Structure 1
Amino acid sequence: MQESARRRGFAIVFAVVFLDLLGFGIIIPILPYYTRSFPGGTEFVIGLLAASYSAMQFAFAPLLGSLSDRVGRRPVLILSLCGSVVAWTVFGLADALWLLFVSRMLAGAMGGNLSTAQAYVADVTPPERRAAALGYIGAAFGLGFIFGPGIGAVLSFDATVAAVDAVVPAVPITRFSLPSFAAAFASLCGVVVALAFLPESRSPDGAPTERQSAIGQLGAAVSTAGLRELLVAFFLVSFAFSGVQIMFVPYVADIYGYTAAQSALLLTYVGVLAVVTQGVLVGPLTARYSPIALSLAGTAVLVVGVGALPFSIAVGTVFPSLTHLVPFLTADLLGLLAVLTLLPVGNGVLSVTLTALVSQRASADLQGSAFGVTQGAGSLARTVGPPVMGGLYAAVGYWSPFVVGSLLLLPVAALVVRLRTQTDSTDPPKPRPADPGHIR
């Protein structure tokens, strides 16, 4: 692939990932309320809906990654985006809980396309620039989560619903269906962009002459030196972080007395920091330090941030109140913001560098399979982690999910150190400092 095509392909994958995650983010504000509008739509059912998405993502991420190794990245990305269009349309038209489950399961299966997008990036970037490029893909995810919920909230306003319903009276427009149709439209835009502009990243002569079965490719990815440790690391990080994400809103509601709107603003703050970390900081850091060193640093920051979260009020005692300057900037809030800053920074650095390590340990023919397996491990963790952490919150205390999550992250550092001792000779030479935006 020529230089211009590589650059265009990377930009288009960034846009496709953003549009896909924008649709996902649009649904976030309405999902609990939509579920409760049906008979039997309890909080337990909401949890099952979340688990059904992650479970299907766990099952299909390796399959989509492996399929992209055999037939190419472009057709798999287009197929998954088409599936998302169908899923969000069914979600908006659902008149029963079982249809919500069908929609979420289909969306989860198609949500496994992250492994294909990561493999595409690995195809079009050299190893020394891969971590920075993967950081931009992570930033696309973060941008989708920043803009999506805001769009979903605006589309669920009564005035917005009434205005759209007057324009298209033949379509059943409600405060739940309108955001769903907007999510479907975002994915449809991704389909159009991919069909019109996305080049294939795998050349025919780069494909293996003897093709393995999907199971054989996945087995080869798992058996590759260093990948086993990385799979465990991905599982532990996803387990801990997903549990923290789920329990964060109950924590700030119970301890700080924050409303849903205030909690949403805090999550937006976290999302902005995640984008800055992965889109701005990761590139220069990877130009100076190895993925191993950055993984250890990211783990350390995340361990401290997660463990300190239930003690954020105590952290706030070291800050002066700034209410004389800004009415809402209390010492308690400043302490919470200080602790929250550590979470997206640590997780952003760690997730990108672990992904870069996966790419280094997998051969060119197994990039999609390797990313699919690691994404599947993360999806499995996100299926199990939230209910476990929720049980701890209710049975033991508000502090327990965060302390347990911090302890679960400690073995990640040990796994990375073990990876260094086992495969240090396979690490690429330290790259020359370069502009992280220069993708080649």
Structure 2
Amino acid sequence: MTHPEAGPASTDPTGGDDGDATVAGDADRPPAVANPRRALAVVIGVVFIDLVGFGIVIPILPFYVRSFGVSDAFIGLLAASYSLAQFLAAPTLGRLSDRIGRRPVLLASLAAAGVAWVTFGYAGVSGARFGTVAALATLFASRTLAGAMGGNIAAAQAYVADITPRDRRAGALGLVGASFALGFVFGPAIGGLLAADPVVARADALFPAFVPATAYSLPSFAAAGMSFLAVAIGALFLEEPKRTRPAGEHAGGQTTAIGQFREALASATLRPLTIAYFVVAVAFAGVQVMFIPYVADAFGYDATAAAFLLTYVGVLGAVNQGVLVGRLSRIISSRTLVATGAVVLAAALVAIPATGVVDRRVGDVAIGGPAWLTLPLVTLLLALAALSLGNALVNVSLATLVSASAGDEEQGAAFGVTQGASSLGRTVGPPLMAILYTVAVASPFLIGALLLVPVAAAFRRAGD
């Protein structure tokens, strides 16, 4: 990957490092699509629908693994299989979208993800017929395919960069982040509802014999339906943006994941961003993988209760990423926002296991209002609010810096390699954090907090 200053449409030549100033000539460039507002709305809608499907499955996944009577370490390994495939695929999908277009990459990956979710729903059938090994093999195969297709976020972010002036990209990328958050508002709530016993019983009475109706298959099939719906909407309304494409089959440097990482680590601009994506992903893995088992073990919550907590986090994330971060980026540098977000996120990770201590010390002590509004629950909700804020500050600001680091013809490749770094972190982190959880419940969260300290320090120095 070339250095950002090598191309004519690079970052601010006056020395701004956050991509917040308009590049000379950027405002005069013809629009990449006929109607940029509609195009932005469509791609955000496609990402939202896809993430609703992803969010539907999250509340049931740890319980699905536990239903086969295996160790919690398999929860981490299953998450790692998804992320490893995403790590290998994201740079390729990003580079491919630079070459053949954003639209075909997005549509093809969404369709394949739908197939993966259908397969995921049949793992229970595999287990009943062929045993636990077959069930786990089905889970891992489906999650691997879904992970490879999950690399399409690089193409979606590059699409937004194509149609948005540089001075507005922080806000636009924040909207993409908000669509993620909104997906986690509706997705887990739908998943929790579909996993409820009355819904499962009703589905079992309606489905044909060859379609399993369980608390695990129904959310999986719903996720597949959302992926196919996103394909239909994208096929009908998503316009391919006009942009500068690399000349020649091998233009733009390395095409393999390892080759692109070598180029990124050799770039003074991309190196700290790539490393930050990796470290943040490892640090956050404890929450991503072990939060639901934690609230199940510490508070006795089932999949439906856990889904409501995820919905709460999603609501906060939508506000933080869709409104707050975009406004803050106009007055505070993106590097400073990354440093601040890392500190807030670290504090939240420390606070989460502390909520279990509160629960053991005081029990279900109501603080007024509804009987379910207890002191331990309030402390957990406050910790999750901080978690959402820190995550929004870090991820949107890092994405803004990535966009500013690459020329217009390499947006897909830049997002692909950094998303790949994040996927690699989510490959390393989940098995490690799951094993640590079996040793000491608080350790995944506390170690994650420690990992964020050097990130905060590095970006705080860079922002001075």
Q: Does 1:56 align with 2:96?
A: no
Q: Is the 8 A contact 1:20 1:190 kept in 2?
A: yes
* 1:37-436 alignment runs, 5 A limit: 37-38=67-68, 41-94=70-123, 95=126, 96-97=134-135, 98-164=137-203, 167=206, 169=208, 171-175=210-214, 176-203=216-243, 206-210=244-248, 211-212=251-252, 213-215=254-256, 219-256=262-299, 258=301, 261-312=304-355, 323-395=367-439, 397-417=440-460, 419-420=462-463
With structure 2 as the length reference, what TM-score do the two structures score?
0.81
Q: Is the 8 A contact 1:221 1:369 kept in 2?
A: no
CA offsets per residue over residues 295-320 of structure 1, 9 Å max, x none? Answer: 22212222222233333478899xxx
CA offsets per residue over residues 405-431 of structure 1, 9 Å max, x none? Answer: 22110111233245447xxxxxxxxxx
Higher helix share: 1
Instruction: Tell me the equivalent position of 1:14.
Output: 44
Aligned-pair identity (%):
52
Task: Pick closer, same or farther for the CA change 1:263–1:30 going to 2, 3 Å.
Answer: closer
The runs of 5 or more residues in structure 2 that have no matched partner are 1-30, 127-133
Of 170-179 and 74-83, deviating more is: 170-179
In structure 2, give the amino acid aligned to 1:273: L
SS at match of 2:372: coil
With structure 1 as the length reference, what TM-score do the two structures score?
0.85
Task: Pick closer, same or farther for the CA change 1:333–1:73 going to 2, 3 Å.
Answer: same
Q: Is the 8 A contact 1:221 1:366 kept in 2?
A: no
Q: Is the 8 A contact 1:222 1:370 kept in 2?
A: no
Task: Pick closer, same or farther for the CA change 1:278–1:390 going to 2, 3 Å.
Answer: same
SS at match of 2:83: helix
TM superposition shift of 1:399: 3.3
Of 259-268 and 380-389, deviating more is: 259-268
In structure 1, give the amino acid aligned to 2:255: A
CA distance in 1, matches of 2:368, 2:462: 51
CA distance in 1, matches of 2:239, 2:297: 50
CA distance in 2, matches of 1:311, 1:326: 23
SS at match of 1:287: coil
Q: Is the 8 A contact 2:80 2:426 kept in 1?
A: yes
Q: Is the 8 A contact 1:313 1:335 kept in 2?
A: no
The alignment of Structure 1 onto Structure 2 pairs a total of residues equal to 415
In structure 2, give the amino acid aligned to 1:209: A
In structure 2, give the amino acid aligned to 1:197: F
Q: Is the 8 A contact 1:226 1:419 kept in 2?
A: no
CA distance in 2, matches of 1:247, 1:33: 11
Q: Is the 8 A contact 1:306 1:405 kept in 2?
A: yes
Please give the root-mean-square deviation of Cα atoms over the aligned residues, in Å.
Answer: 2.8
Task: Pick closer, same or farther for the CA change 1:184–1:69 going to 2, 3 Å.
Answer: same
TM superposition shift of 1:147: 1.4
CA offsets per residue over residues 202-238 of structure 1, 9 Å max, x none? Answer: 43xx112242452466654443332100111111111
Q: Is the 8 A contact 2:77 2:430 kept in 1?
A: no
Q: Is the 8 A contact 1:49 1:104 kept in 2?
A: yes
Q: Is the 8 A contact 2:261 2:417 kept in 1?
A: yes
The runs of 5 or more residues in structure 1 that have no matched partner are 422-440
Q: Is the 8 A contact 2:338 2:393 kept in 1?
A: yes
Q: Is the 8 A contact 2:33 2:240 kept in 1?
A: no
Task: Pick closer, same or farther for the CA change 1:313–1:398 going to 2, 3 Å.
Answer: closer
CA offsets per residue over residues 340-369 of structure 1, 9 Å max, x none? Answer: 221110111111001100110111122111
In structure 1, give the amino acid aligned to 2:231: V
In structure 2, give the amino acid aligned to 1:193: I
In structure 1, give the amino acid aligned to 2:226: A
Q: Does 1:30 align with 2:87?
A: no
Of 209-218 and 92-101, deviating more is: 209-218
Instruction: Tell me the equivalent position of 1:425.
Output: none
Instruction: Tell me the equivalent position of 1:426.
Output: none
Structure 1 segments (4+ residues) deviating >6 Å:
313-317
Q: Does 1:5 align with 2:35?
A: yes
Task: Pick closer, same or farther for the CA change 1:334–1:28 going to 2, 3 Å.
Answer: closer
CA distance in 1, matches of 2:72, 2:65: 9
Task: Pick closer, same or farther for the CA change 1:303–1:155 going to 2, 3 Å.
Answer: closer
Of 116-125 and 3-12, deviating more is: 3-12
CA distance in 2, matches of 1:259, 1:159: 15
Of 285-294 and 88-97, deviating more is: 88-97
Of 206-215 and 266-275, deviating more is: 206-215
CA distance in 2, matches of 1:368, 1:46: 31
SS at match of 1:288: coil
Task: Pick closer, same or farther for the CA change 1:304–1:156 going to 2, 3 Å.
Answer: closer
TM superposition shift of 1:381: 1.1
TM superposition shift of 1:294: 1.6
